[in-house]
Structure 1
Amino acid sequence: MADSESPLLKALPPETDYITYLTIIEYNLTQENLPILHKVLQDEKLTTNIGWDLVHLLVPFLPESEQCLQDIARLGNPREVILKVTESLRLIEYELPDDDETVNRIANALGDASDSRARAESTTYPTKTAATTEGEKQPGSSQMVEIPPPLPLAVNQFVALLSMLATLHPRIKTKYPSRFLSTTLQAILASLSNTVSHREEMVLAVIKMTKSFTGVQRPMLPSRKSSGMVRLSTRASARSAPDPEASTTGEVAPEESAMQRKLLQSFVTHVIEEYMLILTSESEDIPGMAWCSRIMEKCQPERTIPGAPTMADRFQSDEKLHGRVDVIGQLATLAQDLKLDDEVLLQTISAVEKTKVGSGQEEDDPPNSADDIPLSRVGSLFLLAARQVSGVLYEPSSKVSSSGVHVSDFDVFPDHQEVLKHCLSTPAQGTGTLGTEPEALIDATLALGLICLEHDAIGEPKTDEQFTEYLQVIALLSSNCPSPNLRGHAHYLTSTVLRSQPDDKVRLAFIRDTLEHCPFENLKVSAVGWIKGETIEANPPAPIAGHTGHAETGTTTSVFATPLALDSLAPYLFPSLEADLLRAPVADAWQTLQLNLSFYLTALNFLFLLLSARHLHRGLEIADMWRDNDVAGSFLQPLRDAEKRFSKGIDEGGELAEERTNGVVAELLLLNETMDRVTKAVRYLNGL
């Protein structure tokens, strides 16, 4: 049908009224006549009257309908169109229902692609390849360029609607533009929170839109691989119509400007929170941005495994991981452009959360002042961590972060402790969920602590209780966190901060408290490692000239160089095991052994050190400790008898036969061999 015969042209007002014309568009709108509608919408008067009612009709036709939507954004009534755009944002369905209607709609969208090959070409990546410009000039050339895969319809809708908002908001001339901005930003966040994929493309669209609001001209960094978003976010450069309801010439009061900036600052912190908290390791142990691992690789390369791929290498070579770096870098830069400084972020992180009173609808009301607009606490943490990590990874010669704030202004005590208190589920809050928070949140929190260590920014705890509370939180993270990666970094942070305490009695008290009260076997294993390290350092094999370890503080001998430390810890290092492993029913005893085997083996190895290192015997009175705590009778012999009991139980026909595996057999063999080594070392106590 010729364009002149199109109902969209024949029924143009004044042939019909606007309401009738809208009805005709609704019943005749197809993908094929979108170019005709685009021509029609160049009529400013027409678009002003009907544009806002076309938004919901055109959104399902994206990406082909983007040109028409941009016409509406340029020429429609901006106040009315914004209402429709924000409504459409909230109604985007990111997960299509699995029903016949959806299947039929997808099938119709594929058009004539009825055979399997055509359908495959329209739905798989790469969808098609196209000849390059040089190839078109040279017939027969085989040069091709890869066309990016099409984005899902929901993502197309999100990006295109944000592109409209970037055109609409600058057009509104009102005394209080923050009211429109507040509603818009809330709708974007609500929509973004429902997404399950393609978040990088969507967040980059958010960043581009926000820059259009602020007038920032900084170019966006190109991503490694082109995506469908590039085409969608290309806005028409044609003239935009003035606001037909303008109530001001464009001059905005300082208070209103402050509110708009605070709204955008708050928006950025909430966007980074939404993005970061959904990042998962999936099958690999890559928590969030893996900031902790990348910091350690940069600052302590000797701790990396030679020949193994580093986390930095993976973030550089893996497209998906590199996309995370791109997004966070762009968000951090945007926050800097919005004058969001580290001091404000720290205040937000450490602020006491206000209790909301009233109905849940109050949070949707436009703010009355900039002070009424809260930043996201978690988003502020992510942003602060991104800036400080950037100062370590990319500015190694300077102790100044990219935000211009000295790293030395952030210490373990009290700054990092405040971060832990307000951003994680600490024991003081009574939730009992410490370590189960999103991995990206734990990674960011620990990364700030590691940066403090690298810059020797420990600070001074006000009390011993404050010091102990900090260690308890980090130590619990090293035990509870599901990620081995994060557990290792938490353990390093705990051990290093513990060793920074100059008072050896405070260190001893924490080690004893951990051994006595901690229910987690792996944390008790760490405690054995701490006392082992303290013992070795405080008791060198021979006097070392200039030795300045913890053995002496001034003229005072370290408590770890006296019998007091081991005497106080022995009941917990070498506990009585007869009741738990021999008297208990075999199934219960077996479970006890499985839960504590690592601790038993670590304690046995430490005991072997105490027995075989003869220079320790006199100063630490090892013989008295061995005798007074009945280590042989209450700890070593029950373990030996239990090993025999369980070895017999896992044999065919035994009570534990179902538990028998190669791993179990190896564990019992290791336990037996370790006990033999300890038994043979006992002779050193007798001078043999």
Structure 2
Amino acid sequence: MPELSEAITAIREGAKEKDRFTYLTILQYNVTTPEVLPTVNEVLENDPQLTQEIGWDLVQILLRIPGAETCLETVARLGNPREVMIKVMEALEQLNDESEDQGAALAQAGEEEETPKDVAARFITLLGMLAILHRRIKTKYPSRFLGSSLVKVYEAYQPTPEMTASVINLVRSLSGRKRPPLPSRKSSINVLDPDQHGDASKNAPDPEAEQEDPTEEMMQSKLLQAFVTCILQRYINNNEMQWSARLLEKYHPEKNLPGRKTMTQKYTEDDTLQERDAVVGQFVAILRDLGVDDCSPSFVKGIYERASGFDPLANFEDFSSADEIHLSPGGAVSLIAYWIFSAEVFEANHPSPEMHLFPEHKTLLERFLGSDAQNEIVENPGIADALLTVGLGLKHMNLVSATEETNVMAYHHSLTLVSVFHPNLHVRNAATTYAGLVLHSDPDDHNRQEILEDLLENCMFATLKAVAVTWLKEELLAANKEGAPSNAFTGPEVLDRLQYFIFPDMQEVKGMDHDELAEFWAQNNIFLAQVANFGYFLFSSALLKAAVPSGMGAAVEQRFVDPLVSGAEKLQQGTPELGEGEKMELAILVDRLRSIPL
């Protein structure tokens, strides 16, 4: 490695070389530390012709050196814009392609593996260069350059605060909007408007300038719309917004636990969580500036027509008109969810959705869940939360049905899948609560009975079956209270029909060994505990006395209570590896079963 003074001399003197390839070799050898960067930038600024000829070759040389942002900005301003853009896109692609294998290869070569912070810094630098380059390129079809670079940015983007702020800066710059940035409450991420910073007069003109085609403005606007919705989708899938849980707190404060902080309070008090709200708000403001500012029926239809497996940035080279460019379905759903959520929680002024639970929201849910609901929900938790938020908002606004066809059972089934598979507990709880609201508000009592029967008979998830028992209890109470109109839940017929699903035959439990009993308990304890509590309430309640079929108590005792008590006691006594919590749960179950007044 050359001495600093020798390196600086070589960089200055080498610029006089007529052979540019020779000078590039000199730079590769001498530009290895941040200390030489001021000299490099001085040379590049003083010799624009040199920068235009070799600028694109300097991108890779400079990018890995800390503090090279000023030099790279000069390259972007004075280098050949088309050539430099190619190198910037190559660098973004390498950023995306870096893997553990490549990190290991770097280590073997004696180079340090890059940290996420290093990668983010390079990403931010490259996006700053793109903002300059796109303004410089004057061509007939700038959308072709824009489409290529947006795809590379999206592929390299990771939803960190720093990278997200950089993307917001880039879009603001490319859209040419002068809107000041939204204030970020207590935010540590300073997202500035690039139109208010920098000096475009330093940019060299495009040596291959052409007159822009008149249709290009709309093409570029639609590309930016598609890009922003793609970024929004990735951001909310990786940064929990928990809109549905917070909206439920707003609509049903009576369900909030006394003495415990609500989700809304947590987001108000936590700077990181506040930042997330602010970032999404900035995306929404950008989309509004780009013309996405209504929730018309055609807008909604465009979402569910492409809700599954659609990539809006694929095949951008083949776009011949703006009409062929569409939004990311997941990003568009997130946009509607934020409009609803922020209008309710922040009292913001946003478009009202021109849609209903039936058929639009039901269709959106079904298209999103597809044939592999579990995978879709786990892979896209933010979109699932957004869909749930939209449903809550529509129901609260009484936008239930635009037609006679409702099919509540199918809709309810989709909601319960979210309540089972979503990775976030608060969103699962919101889905469960909302599913209960949908069930109880169905005006057809026979539909409600069929939904509960289907869950209790066919559902394989103990948690959901336990919830179904709770819903049944609520239906029985509502139907049998004084003055309530008679319906399917008033008399003993519903329990006569459902009792074998609620209190199934447990005789086989008596023959299980300890391992089998332990596995049975692990799979069914939530459901069994709920049924035991339901049984105690059912047979103790004077209000529900008329809803209990004759002879049901004795039958439940024989087929359900006695064999289950026997199995639970056997598990308690012969399984020393049980934890204290499990032992306590078993003891509570036995006590509750024995106390049922059958």
Q: Which residue of 2 aligns with 1:201?
A: 162
Instruction: Report deviation, 1:61.
Output: 1.9
Q: Which residue of 2 aligns with 1:447?
A: 389
Give the letter for the 2:580 counterpart. Answer: N
State how far apart, in whole Å, the 2-side matches of 1:261 and 1:246 are: 21
Deviation per CA, 1:555-583, whole angstroms, max 9, x where unpaired?
xx3121122211111221222211x2123
TM-score normalised by the chain length of structure 2:
0.89
Contact 1:156 1:232 (C-alpha < 8 Å) held by counterparts: no
Q: Which residue of 1 aligns with 2:398?
A: 456
State how far apart, in whole Å, the 1-side matches of 2:514 and 2:75 are: 77
Of residues 233, 243, 264, the one that matches 1:312 is 264
State how far apart, in whole Å, the 2-side matches of 1:481 and 1:4 are: 58
Contact 1:178 1:366 (C-alpha < 8 Å) held by counterparts: no
Larger Rg: 1
State how far apart, in whole Å, the 1-side matches of 2:422 and 2:254 are: 25
Of residues 141, 153, 157, the one that matches 1:176 is 141
State how far apart, in whole Å, the 2-side matches of 1:11 and 1:2 are: 14
Give the letter for the 2:365 counterpart. Answer: L
Report the CA distance shift for 1:38/1:332 in structure 2 as closer, same or farther (over 3 A). same
Structure 2 residue 40 is matched with structure 1 residue 37: yes
Instruction: Report deviation, 1:184.
Output: 0.8
Q: Which residue of 2 aligns with 1:283?
A: none
Deviation per CA, 1:10-67, whole angstroms, max 9, x where unpaired?
2334x423332222222222422322222222233222222222121111224x2222
Report the CA distance shift for 1:563/1:242 in structure 2 as closer, same or farther (over 3 A). same
Q: Which residue of 1 aligns with 2:10?
A: 7
Report the CA distance shift for 1:590/1:59 in structure 2 as closer, same or farther (over 3 A). closer
Of residues 52, 57, 66, the one that matches 1:48 is 52
Contact 1:345 1:381 (C-alpha < 8 Å) held by counterparts: no
Contact 2:565 2:590 (C-alpha < 8 Å) held by counterparts: yes
Structure 2 residue 300 is matched with structure 1 residue 346: yes
State how far apart, in whole Å, the 2-side matches of 1:528 and 1:355 are: 37
Instruction: Report deviation, 1:230.
Output: 7.5
State how far apart, in whole Å, the 1-side matches of 2:310 and 2:166 are: 32
State how far apart, in whole Å, the 2-side matches of 1:434 and 1:56 are: 38
1:460-479 matches, cutoff 5 A: 462-463=404-405, 466-479=407-420
Q: Which residue of 1 aligns with 2:177?
A: 216
Structure 2 residue 421 is matched with structure 1 residue 421: no
Q: Which residue of 1 aligns with 2:532?
A: 604
State how far apart, in whole Å, the 1-side matches of 2:307 and 2:565 are: 55
Deviation per CA, 1:188-230, whole angstroms, max 9, x where unpaired?
11211xx4xx721111111111111111111224654556987
Report the CA distance shift for 1:661/1:240 in structure 2 as closer, same or farther (over 3 A). closer
Report the CA distance shift for 1:586/1:21 in structure 2 as closer, same or farther (over 3 A). closer
- Could you tell me which runs of 5 or more consecutive residues in structure 2 were left unpaired when the two chains were aligned: none
Q: Which residue of 2 aligns with 1:139?
A: none
Structure 2 residue 432 is matched with structure 1 residue 491: yes
Q: Which residue of 2 aligns with 1:274?
A: 234
Contact 1:89 1:187 (C-alpha < 8 Å) held by counterparts: yes
1:584-599 matches, cutoff 5 A: 584-599=512-527
Contact 1:158 1:202 (C-alpha < 8 Å) held by counterparts: yes
Q: Which residue of 1 aligns with 2:567?
A: 642
RMSD: 3.2
State how far apart, in whole Å, the 2-side matches of 1:373 and 1:605 are: 56
State how far apart, in whole Å, the 2-side matches of 1:414 and 1:420 are: 10
The SS at the match of 2:460 is coil
Contact 1:182 1:366 (C-alpha < 8 Å) held by counterparts: no
Give the letter for the 2:300 counterpart. Answer: L
Of residues 289, 292, 306, the one that matches 1:337 is 289
State how far apart, in whole Å, the 2-side matches of 1:74 and 1:98 are: 35
Deviation per CA, 1:225-271, whole angstroms, max 9, x where unpaired?
556987999645542121111122xx4312x2221111111111111
Give the letter for the 2:301 counterpart. Answer: Q
State how far apart, in whole Å, the 1-side matches of 2:491 and 2:287 are: 55
Deviation per CA, 1:619-649, whole angstroms, max 9, x where unpaired?
435334446xx223222222233344334xx
- Could you tell me which runs of 5 or more consecutive residues in structure 1 were left unpaired when the two chains were aligned: 110-122, 124-150, 280-287, 396-400, 545-550, 651-655, 683-688
Of residues 46, 52, 57, the one that matches 2:61 is 57
State how far apart, in whole Å, the 2-side matches of 1:615 and 1:27 are: 89
Report the CA distance shift for 1:460/1:568 in structure 2 as closer, same or farther (over 3 A). farther
State how far apart, in whole Å, the 1-side matches of 2:489 and 2:8 are: 97
State how far apart, in whole Å, the 1-side matches of 2:331 and 2:355 are: 18
Of residues 130, 136, 153, the one that matches 1:165 is 130
The SS at the match of 1:660 is coil
Q: Which residue of 2 aligns with 1:566?
A: 495
1:266-665 matches, cutoff 5 A: 266-279=226-239, 288-341=240-293, 342-343=295-296, 346-352=300-306, 363=315, 365-395=317-347, 402-404=349-351, 406-407=352-353, 409-425=354-370, 429=371, 433=375, 435-459=377-401, 462-463=404-405, 466-540=407-481, 543-544=482-483, 551-552=484-485, 557-578=486-507, 580-617=508-545, 619-620=546-547, 622-626=549-553, 630-647=555-572, 650=573, 656-665=574-583
Give the letter for the 1:572 counterpart. Answer: F
State how far apart, in whole Å, the 2-side matches of 1:505 and 1:402 are: 40
1:72-87 matches, cutoff 5 A: 72-87=75-90
TM-score normalised by the chain length of structure 1:
0.78
Instruction: Report deviation, 1:273.
Output: 2.0
- Of all paired residues, the percent bearing the same amino acid is 32
Deviation per CA, 1:316-369, whole angstroms, max 9, x where unpaired?
333332232222111111111111243465234201469899xxx973635222
Deviation per CA, 1:160-212, whole angstroms, max 9, x where unpaired?
111111111111111111111111111111211xx4xx721111111111111
Report the CA distance shift for 1:33/1:499 in structure 2 as closer, same or farther (over 3 A). same
Instruction: Report deviation, 1:494.
Output: 0.8
Instruction: Report deviation, 1:506.
Output: 0.9
State how far apart, in whole Å, the 2-side matches of 1:321 and 1:410 are: 30
Contact 2:300 2:355 (C-alpha < 8 Å) held by counterparts: no
Report the CA distance shift for 1:664/1:239 in structure 2 as closer, same or farther (over 3 A). closer
State how far apart, in whole Å, the 1-side matches of 2:267 and 2:307 are: 35
Contact 1:458 1:497 (C-alpha < 8 Å) held by counterparts: no
Deviation per CA, 1:515-554, whole angstroms, max 9, x where unpaired?
11111111111121122111111112xx44xxxxxx42xx
Instruction: Report deviation, 1:660.
Output: 3.3
Q: Which residue of 1 aligns with 2:119?
A: 154
Instruction: Report deviation, 1:304.
Output: 2.1
The SS at the match of 1:591 is helix
State how far apart, in whole Å, the 2-side matches of 1:432 and 1:220 are: 38
Report the CA distance shift for 1:225/1:430 in structure 2 as closer, same or farther (over 3 A). closer
Greater CA deviation, 46-55 or 431-440?
A: 431-440
Greater CA deviation, 346-355 or 497-506?
A: 346-355
Q: Which residue of 2 aligns with 1:142?
A: none
Instruction: Report deviation, 1:3.
Output: 10
Contact 1:37 1:68 (C-alpha < 8 Å) held by counterparts: yes
The SS at the match of 2:594 is helix
Q: Which residue of 2 aligns with 1:262?
A: 222
State how far apart, in whole Å, the 2-side matches of 1:604 and 1:489 are: 25
Report the CA distance shift for 1:671/1:155 in structure 2 as closer, same or farther (over 3 A). closer
